[in-house]
Structure 1
Amino acid sequence: MTQTGLIIRDALAADLPAVRSLLVETWHATYDGIYGWRRVAEITNAWHSLDALSAQLGRQSGVFLIAMLGQEVVGTASARSEPDHAALLTRLYVLPARQGEGIGRTLLQVALACFPDAPVARLEVESQNELAIAFYERMGFFLQRQARFDGREDTPNTLIMAKRLFVS
């Protein structure tokens, strides 16, 4: 099901406080049970600060999208092109109260459509995030390997998933 009235567009600087709020809420709902509230707060403060989000706006090799219903930011997605021309999905989050409405599916489709020459899409997902893993499997992604986010030991244990894209 796709949400009626859903608008997906590039994120603007004025959207960043709402995007940060969405990310903090979603991360706590998703990861408090895995990492604990304190560690999730540390991660969101580092990865999702207004400065960190602002640095991601307008990147030449990527997209930073938001999904809106009315005036509310209900989802966000980011992706970038990799040296091997793969599309790397770096973020896909939907407000917990809005999950299951087709917003994540639509955000994913729009984000990947921004990379028409990508032969494959990749993403990293927390290995204990069963709901996200199931979502990505429904979207056609498969497990490639297990890793640490960004290869660092102080970051979450992740699964690398991939999906072959059709290049015309």
Structure 2
Amino acid sequence: MSVTVRAATGEDLAAVEAVARDAWYAAYGGFLEPRTVEAGLAEAYDEAVLSAAVENDDIEFLVAEADDEVVGFASAERTWADEVELHTLYVHPDRWGEGVGSALLSAVEEWAREQSVARIVCGVFAENAVGVGFFEAKGFRRGREREAELAGERHPEYEFEREV
């Protein structure tokens, strides 16, 4: 399977939302209530929110395509002079283990190097075994643990970091 990573466009919004929905239920369904997943999706993947992120020149918003279909996405932003924050990296669960996440992360890393930053950081729910395993396998160092809130629920979240 060949994966192509490219900049997201307004035409990708529905596909991004669909990938997010399936990925969230697969990754978070074991520890988040369904109402929490739905509330989080409604907030983060509202068409207006996604459109604004895609159009924002400060955010690198990428999609991964395989077989002419969007199968993953990632978004990142330079948040400090020496740091890029990876806001999202989701892959359709049917494509987990096929290199889609790695391709997206590589593209974000390339963009981060162009920004002349020292590191990439991201937050991952501690209970998200798939996400934690992915970032650890990619050489990210687990830093402090904090609490993250989503739709009124509080969950432990790991802060991950890796030098660019």
* Fold shared per TM-score above 0.5: yes
Is 1:110 aligned with 2:126? no
Alignment partner, residue 120 of structure 2: 121
Mapping of residues 75-154 of structure 1, within 5 Å: 75-116=72-113, 117-149=116-148, 154=153
The runs of 4+ residues in structure 1 deviating greater than 3 Å are 152-156
Residues 1:23 and 2:20 aligned together: yes
The alignment's C-alpha RMSD in Å is 1.9
SS in 1 for 2:112: coil
Runs of 5+ in structure 2 lacking a partner? none
Q: Residue 61 of structure 1: CA displacement?
A: 2.1
Partner of 2:39: 42
Count of equivalent residues? 162
Q: CA deviation at 1:142?
A: 0.8
Q: Which residue matches 1:164? A: 163
SS at match of 1:25: helix
Q: Structure 1 length as normaliser, TM-score? A: 0.90
Aligned-residue sequence identity (percent) comes to: 27
How far apart are 1:162 and its partner, in Å? 0.3
1:28 CA displacement:
1.1
TM-score by length of 2: 0.92
Is the 8 Å Cα contact of residues 75 and 87 (structure 2) preserved in structure 1? yes
Between the aligned partners of 1:57 and 1:115, the Cα distance in structure 2 is: 17
- Higher strand share goes to which structure? 2
